[in-house]
Amino acid sequence: MHSWLKDKRLVAFDLDGTLIDSVPDLTVAVQKALKDQDLTPPEEAHVRDWVGNGAPILMQRALTWALNEAPSKEVQARSYQGFLAHYAEAPNRLTRLYPGASEVLSTLKEAGLILVLVTNKPKCFIAPILEHFGLAAYFDLCLGGDSLARKKPDPLPLLHAAKRFGVPARACAMVGDSRHDIEAGKAAGFTTFALPYGYNHGEPIGDSHPDMLLDTLSDLLCSTTGKA
């Protein structure tokens, strides 16, 4: 086990932008939801900058962009339900697993670590995606953005996971791609590992000052890379 993880008993992973690139499928669902409202659909590049705070905020940002003003509660609710329906139709058609994801999860699981998925994605989408990519068996607990009263960047999901398995925060790590992951991890007292290739609203993830900045997921298992 790498020295960075040798004293860890629990590792929490974000999903979108960390283990999978889901933006292409999210984009299709957002585009269809806006078209249903006779609104101009956004490009994938827009959606890539909007994800990270959960589906309701994603749709709020998309609607604000299309309307050039904040949407009404009625439009927000109707569009959000449309997004959920369209995304549920094909959550895996264009989504891709990031290189090294399966190998890293398998290695950590075999080493006896508790693996937890902490995402702001609605919980109903987690199982279909994990099963599609053969990742479901690796996780001891999966928390979505609607699983608890608060989601990332609030530390509640991480604190909940640590308490659930009786692991002190100092023996836990958070692996993610956005400032929300790092903020939540720091607030929970977890060691934070950041990946630079995901979704962070166009900001360098290093600006969030994670404990370790990795180039790839595989660097979690490598003894020669990683930058503070």
The percent helix, strand, coil of the chain (3-state, each to 5) is 45, 15, 40
- Is 152 in contact with 52 (CB distance < 8 Å)? no
CA distances, 106 to each of 85, 90, 212 (Å) = 32, 26, 21
- Is 19 in contact with 135 (CB distance < 8 Å)? yes
Token output for 180: 């929300």
7, 14, 49, 154: the catalytic one is 14
Our answer to whether residue 25 is catalytic in this structure is no
Token output for 127: 């199982």
β 191-194/172-176 pair status: parallel
Active site residues: 14
